[in-house]
Structure 1
Amino acid sequence: MQLEGVVSWNAFRQAVTGYHKIAGRKRDVLTLIDFSRPSTEQRLFVFDMGRRKLLFSSVVAHGKNSGDKYATSFSNEYGSYKSSLGFYLTETTYQGRNGYSLILNGLEKGINDRARERAIVMHGAAYADPSVASRGGRLGRSFGCPAVPQKLSRPIIDAIKGGSVMYIYAGAPDYLAHSSVLKKTTGL
């Protein structure tokens, strides 16, 4: 896919490993969100795994209590306003307070399995626009949702809805130690 210099090899390797292990996957699409990068950089990547093609790359906001320019703190707790790491399956779309939105089903117990209860969804937001980062040195932050620029929200959501895998990465050793998807894999 010619991703050298575009995507972290470690993040991509973990995402692909999980993508192949997740039984409920219905689509050959993988979304990687790399929270080891600052919010001012493109850190959301959508891949068509069947055609081996990068479909989208974009900035993406993290939860307001996860950090400032970088996301460094994560939680599965209701009311934490933090992002959650790990693997998700995308579900259906709906029109909500933030417009066109995508339900995310967290697959890892204790890490992100409360995503639905916490209303952690993908949606567009004015604060997730690169112009916000250029003015303020970082993107605005969500209540824990991966929020994308409004002009990209519908095309990205339409590309990943309906049973594709999403992986939110941060290079956190604590996550790897507890991941039900990756901990059984040697070498990760």
Structure 2
Amino acid sequence: MAKAMAALQRHGDAIPNRDLVGIADFAIASGTPRFHLVDMASGRTTTLLVSHGKGSDPSHSGMLQRFSNIEGSEASSSGAYRTGDIYVGKHGRSRRLVGLDPTNCNALGRAIVVHGAWYVSPDIVRQHGKLGRSQGCLAVSTAELEQVLTRLGTGRMIYADKV
């Protein structure tokens, strides 16, 4: 939480809506809920499953091994993101992400977004002990996608790192 709050302060006006913050804690295995939606007023937190990129976990161990900001890496990137608009793409309804740090500044060009995925669910964890992997996106359960898209809205921060 301290790293995320420092990022929120560091990015100032780039994050206009500060009532809710998303934190993806990639120090935790993918089979454990690790995407925290934190209500800044009440402190209440909703914690969900979230995938990491194939390039971040080449052996598919379920643990993120490395971050990358490079096009074609299929890896997750660390740092602060500002949530953008919703669009409909190859994964259905998705929310664009704008990387605000040197470690994720290529997110928009890499099409790193929040989207739903069949490979993110408690059933997948029960069957395989871990989630499937994205191409660097923050993929959540299709059953929880609308909640995530709505609650995050536009102009909020998601912080992703090994916290």
Unaligned runs of 5+ in 1: 1-11, 172-188
- The range that moved more, 41-50 or 22-31, is 22-31
Q: Measure, in 2, the Cα distance between the counterparts of 1:162 and 1:139.
A: 27
Give how far 1:51 is off: 3.1
Q: How does 1:88-127 map to 2 (within 5 A)?
A: 88-109=81-102, 111-127=103-119
12, 16, 29: which one aligns with 1:26? 16
Give how far 1:91 is off: 0.8
Larger radius of gyration, structure 1 or 2?
1
Give how far 1:53 is off: 2.2
| Matched residue, 1:136 | 128
Q: How does 1:46-57 map to 2 (within 5 A)?
A: 46-54=37-45, 56-57=46-47
TM-score normalised by length of structure 2 = 0.93
119, 143, 153: which one aligns with 1:151? 143
Residues 40-92 of structure 1: per-residue CA shift (max 9 Å, x gap):
001000011133322x2101000012112101111001110000001111011
Q: Measure, in 1, the Cα distance between the counterparts of 2:160 and 2:52.
A: 10
Unaligned runs of 5+ in 2: none
Give how far 1:140 is off: 0.4
Letter aligned with residue 22 of structure 1: H
Aligned length: 158
State the identity as a percent.
Answer: 33
TM-score normalised by length of structure 1 = 0.81
**What secondary structure, in the 3-state scheme, does the structure 1 residue paired with 2:30 have?**
coil
**What secondary structure, in the 3-state scheme, does the structure 1 residue paired with 2:145 have?**
helix
Structure 1 stretches of at least 4 aligned residues deviating more than 4 Å after TM superposition: none
| Matched residue, 1:43 | 34
| Matched residue, 1:80 | 73
45, 50, 53: which one aligns with 1:60? 50
